[in-house]
Structure 1
Amino acid sequence: MIHYYRIFDLVISTPFVCSELIEAIPQQADVVIDYGHIANDLSIIEKQKLKWQVNKNQVLLKIPDAGKYLIENGETITIEPEENTSLDIIKLFLLGSALGAIQHQRQRLTLHASAFTKCDHTILLCGQSGAGKSTTANALIQQGFQLLSDDLAVIDFLDGDAFVTPAYPQSKLWQDAAEKLSIEYKNFHRVRDELDKYRIPINNNFCNRPKKITHIINLQLSDIELAKINSLTVFEQLGVLKIHSYRKKYFTLEQAQGNFQACAALVDLVPVTQITRPQLTNSLKQVAELIIQQLT
């Protein structure tokens, strides 16, 4: 049986159930996902490392304990799982790296960022892993914001504006972050069995339509006592977007050039500001207040 879902404003078809995604009416899929045999190497290789190979139209991922994923032409993903790989692990890399590569092939700007919205404000929150993107987004959801995307923000340009497309109604939180937010996590699945990180459903606080981006904030850790907000030069803003472009190591030369142009276009439309927060103390309330202050 084939299942249909909508994610990043694309209809995908899969041979397995993805209960975390939003169902779509059966139709011609933009991206077809299926199981199949995958050769160990691409016939043409432009760039490669031990776990991946790329060329203009293909990305091959070789993920230990998960399997191989072949992403082609922005339209198909073939999966060859390793023996005894769980469906949760298959979907973990499908909904991240594989669908991220699809966006690259479709020449869509894709950032490693959380996205959330309230009224006329839609925020992209960038930051290195551990900076607190998902934790901050969930704190703001508790204050009436809606989630658009937890980890991967796909951006389209339309009529002189930039829009972020919805992913799916789920956030991933480390146990200590869930405890800080008083979120009951024990009944939810772990992202991976060996990690104290949980899949938190956001069913009642999810926005399922593209939203115009009004603010971009880079969240950074530092050895300071109080969180603070700083403006950035245009060059620094562009650097933030380039640094946080999703899986940029997979870029071909043409995709890297397109990414630079898209980052420049986004900075021109929506300036990037920076919030620096203390590294060793709980500054969640401070950061949330600074973000809301930016909106008002």
Structure 2
Amino acid sequence: MSTFTYSGFGLNILSAIPFPELSPVSSFEQVHVNIRFGEVPAAPDGFSFSTGRISYTMNDRELLFTVAGVGKYYVAGGNTIIIHPENDAIETRLLRLFVLATAMAGILQQRHIIPMHTASVLIDGKLTLIGGHSGAGKSTTLAGLMSKQFRIFSDDIVVLAEGTDRIIHGVASYPMIKLWEQSMQAFEYEDRSFRVMPGMEKYGLFFHDDFDTNRYPINKMIVLKISDDHRFSTEHLTAGSAFAAVVEHIYKPSFFNTPEMRILKFKTITQLLQHTDVYLVARPANCAPDDLLSIVTSLI
């Protein structure tokens, strides 16, 4: 059986299935994550919950989740992902989607690493993170930054890692930017050859040649939201407000709610904020993409 080697999320990944979304590498000395098909074990001891079509059972060492209509996934020890499709007709693209999202979040949690649900741009050797809940304008802003030739470091997920200088750095997840059809149209991107998920008007744009596996210090984070008064505003957040805004954008936050994970969150985010300015940008629900882009670029 063929195996494939990749770099992603700051980890060396050995996989039984090809991942066009990940950055291929010729070889590495140490495997951090092994992805394969197989039978999954019984549900581990731990707490269970569900979010829509996905049900979870997990603790700090194991994660078993089931995606309705897709299959089961088992994640263990911070180094193993086992995929058990519901049937042979399930599209590989769909199976990969939940590996790159939920399963890898489980790997990071088990390795005591915090992932942020943010995009990021690299400027003069430092990272600016850009976050926002669904509909806030993150995807449109990222598309606009691409059109202005900003260097996109990562889309959707940035992994936090402590540097030798004890400053929190960011690590890119994988070299694909996901844009909704509205963002594709706003900035006239034409490549719709890679649909992220069947039936969804969201497309992947690859940047394998420019993918940077190095880690860089994070000096800014911009959080986007819809304004209550239909106006633009910018606020420099400090202390508890900054902490709350950052914590709110941890990827898969339900994975980090055990006592041990809460301590990890507090230490990591507190350390991050020692060297990172956090800005809240509120925008009208209906605004021109260039107007929002202008405000974001003025901050970075």
Classify the TM-score, shorter chain. over 0.9
1:91 aligns with 2:96: yes
SS state at 1:245 partner? coil
CA distance in 1 between partners of 2:38 and 2:57 (Å): 18
Bigger drift between 285-294 and 169-178 goes to 285-294
Contact 1:147 1:169 (C-alpha < 8 Å) held by counterparts: no
1:137 equivalent in structure 2: 142
Amino acid at match of 1:287: L
SS state at 1:269 partner? coil
1:73 aligns with 2:73: no
1:38 aligns with 2:18: no
- Show structure 2 runs of 5+ residues with no match: none
1:224, distance to aligned residue in structure 2 (A)? 4.1
Which residue among 245, 248, 254 is the counterpart of 1:249? 254
CA distance in 1 between partners of 2:262 and 2:59 (Å): 13
SS state at 1:193 partner? coil
Amino acid at match of 1:71: V
Which residue among 168, 171, 181 is the counterpart of 2:174? 168
CA distance in 2 between partners of 1:103 and 1:174 (Å): 27
SS state at 1:49 partner? strand
Which residue among 50, 64, 70 is the counterpart of 2:68? 64
Superposed CA deviations along residues 120-167 of structure 1, whole A, max 9, x for unmatched, are: 442101111221212212211221222222111101111132211122
Contact 1:118 1:144 (C-alpha < 8 Å) held by counterparts: no
Superposed CA deviations along residues 221-252 of structure 1, whole A, max 9, x for unmatched, are: 12444432112231011101111111111233
2:221 equivalent in structure 1: 216
Query: Relative to structure 1, is the Cα distance of residues 56 and 208 closer, same or farther in structure 2, using a 3 angstrom cutoff?
Result: closer
Query: Relative to structure 1, is the Cα distance of residues 167 and 36 closer, same or farther in structure 2, using a 3 angstrom cutoff?
Result: same
CA distance in 2 between partners of 1:86 and 1:30 (Å): 26
Contact 2:41 2:74 (C-alpha < 8 Å) held by counterparts: no
CA distance in 1 between partners of 2:290 and 2:67 (Å): 38
1:179 aligns with 2:180: no
TM-score by length of 2: 0.91
Superposed CA deviations along residues 84-143 of structure 1, whole A, max 9, x for unmatched, are: 211100110101111111111111121111111132442101111221212212211221
- Share of identical aligned residues, percent? 25
| 1:249-288 correspondence runs (5 A) | 249-251=254-256, 252-282=258-288, 284-288=289-293
Contact 1:52 1:59 (C-alpha < 8 Å) held by counterparts: yes
TM-score by length of 1: 0.93
Amino acid at match of 1:241: V
1:39, distance to aligned residue in structure 2 (A)? 3.2
Contact 2:70 2:85 (C-alpha < 8 Å) held by counterparts: yes
Amino acid at match of 2:60: K
CA distance in 2 between partners of 1:37 and 1:17 (Å): 19
1:194, distance to aligned residue in structure 2 (A)? 1.9
Amino acid at match of 1:169: P
Amino acid at match of 2:148: Q
1:15 aligns with 2:16: yes
Superposed CA deviations along residues 196-218 of structure 1, whole A, max 9, x for unmatched, are: 11112234554342222121111
Amino acid at match of 1:281: C
Amino acid at match of 1:49: F
CA distance in 2 between partners of 1:182 and 1:89 (Å): 27
- Show structure 1 runs of 5+ residues with no match: none
Amino acid at match of 2:48: Q
Contact 2:177 2:205 (C-alpha < 8 Å) held by counterparts: yes
1:154 aligns with 2:154: no
